[in-house]
């Protein structure tokens, strides 16, 4: 499939402009500059910084070298939610295994997928963690997919700018190869839901599960994490999110009505 057929409205803009690199809570300004340089070398330009510890900073400017344009146009956000707002595909990076496994791809396949979606005009975020602790579980659970660079198992943690370099290079290769992996949502009838729509749905779901007394201390461990993973994997579209939220609203309505009839004697009879 040619890029023209996937991106009919906007052929002059590079699909790489639909891909943002998000750095969460970076400590060292030098790393931020080195990331800007790694990105520009591979034709990426959209840098988002979530609560950087020191930015702007001379060290960042120095390490960015001639990528100071990427650095200076970086968008600084207060929360990860702000940085991934509007993104239909969110990819989390991790240097190690996590307790609940998530859909995980290697850098090549993951970045081919990211490029293919960007080429179909989806906004994509690739999220990188803190130098000392990586991303929290909560942050990783806001991602549709995870990617791990298969480094030395005994020493798998790369410097953040090096990790950005590896993934940006794979994006560049996906662009140059012109080989687009199959995008099963390219001709979808409704736009894929953005990260913030899904997050609102998941908050609503949790609230409703409490209302119907399903989410109790004795509920299976990591219940919400497993439900999050289920929905992140599904890639809901905007209409599907609206339908599901309608189901929740109606559930809440009837449960509240039943509880008030019950005279507030407790929800166990439901």
E strands of 51-174, at which residues?
75-77, 89-93, 104-105, 124-128, 145-147
CB 154 within 8 A of CB 40: no
Applying CB under 6 A, among 41, 136, 157, 225 the residue interacting with ligand SAH is 157
Applying CB under 6 A, among 120, 135, 145, 209 the residue interacting with ligand SAH is 135
Task: Supply the minimum distance, in Å, between the C-beta of residue 47 and ligand SAH.
Answer: 14
Quick one: 152 exposed, middle or buried, by C-beta within 10 A (0-12, 13-18, 19+)? exposed
Please tell me whether residue 156 binds ligand SAH under the rule CB under 6 A.
yes
Which residues is 49 bridged to in the sheet? 23, 76
Applying CB under 6 A, among 81, 151, 173, 186 the residue interacting with ligand SAH is 151
Q: Which of residues 65 and 95 has its CB atom nearest to ligand SAH in the complex?
A: 95
Please tell me whether residue 48 binds ligand SAH under the rule CB under 6 A.
no
Q: Contacts with ligand SAH in 78-107 (CB under 6 A)?
A: 93-96
Q: Which of residues 77 and 192 has its CB atom nearest to ligand SAH in the complex?
A: 77
What's the half-sphere exposure (Cβ side, CA atoms, 13 Å) at 53?
Answer: 12
Please tell me whether residue 149 binds ligand SAH under the rule CB under 6 A.
yes
Q: Which of residues 129 and 205 has its CB atom nearest to ligand SAH in the complex?
A: 129
Taking alpha carbons only, the member of 186, 184, 235 closest to residue 6 is 186
User: What are the angstrom distances between the C-alpha of 13 and each of 3, 21, 229?
Assistant: 11, 17, 33
**Pairing label, strands 46-50, 89-93:** unpaired
Task: Supply the minimum distance, in Å, between the C-beta of residue 116 and ligand SAH.
Answer: 20
Is the C-alpha dihedral spanning 230, 234, 235, 240 positive or negative?
A: negative
Residue of closest CB approach to ligand SAH = 134
Applying CB under 6 A, among 37, 148, 229, 235 the residue interacting with ligand SAH is 148
Please tell me whether residue 242 binds ligand SAH under the rule CB under 6 A.
no
Which residues is 155 bridged to in the sheet? 152
Task: Supply the minimum distance, in Å, between the C-beta of residue 218 and ligand SAH.
Answer: 32
Q: Return residues touching ligand SAH (CB under 6 A).
A: 93-96, 128-129, 131-135, 148-149, 151, 156-158, 160, 163
């Amino acid at each position: 499939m040619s890029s023209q057929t996937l991106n009919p409205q906007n052929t002059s803009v590079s699909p790489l402009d639909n891909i943002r690199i998000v750095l969460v809570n970076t400590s060292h300004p030098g790393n931020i500059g080195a990331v800007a340089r790694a990105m520009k070398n591979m034709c990426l330009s959209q840098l988002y910084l979530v609560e950087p510890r020191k930015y702007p900073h001379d060290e960042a400017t120095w390490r960015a070298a001639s990528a100071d344009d990427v650095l200076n146009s970086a968008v600084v956000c207060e929360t990860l939610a702000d940085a991934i707002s509007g993104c239909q595909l969110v990819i989390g990076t991790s240097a190690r295994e996590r307790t609940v496994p998530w859909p995980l791809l290697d850098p090549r396949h993951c970045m081919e997928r990211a490029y293919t979606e960007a080429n179909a005009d989806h906004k994509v975020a690739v999220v990188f963690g803190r130098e000392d602790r990586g991303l929290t579980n909560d942050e990783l659970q806001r991602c549709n997919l995870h990617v791990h660079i298969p480094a030395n198992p005994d020493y798998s943690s790369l410097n953040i700018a090096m990790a950005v370099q590896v993934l940006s290079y794979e994006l560049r290769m996906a662009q140059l190869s012109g080989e687009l992996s199959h995008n099963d949502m390219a001709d979808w009838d409704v736009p894929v839901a953005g990260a913030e729509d899904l997050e609102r749905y998941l908050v609503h779901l949790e609230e409703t599960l409490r209302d119907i007394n399903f989410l109790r201390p004795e509920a299976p461990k990591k219940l919400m994490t497993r439900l999050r993973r289920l929905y992140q994997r599904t890639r809901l579209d905007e209409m599907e999110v609206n339908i599901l939220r309608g189901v929740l609203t109606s559930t809440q309505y009837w449960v509240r009505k039943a509880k008030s009839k019950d005279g507030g004697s407790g929800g166990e009879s439901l």
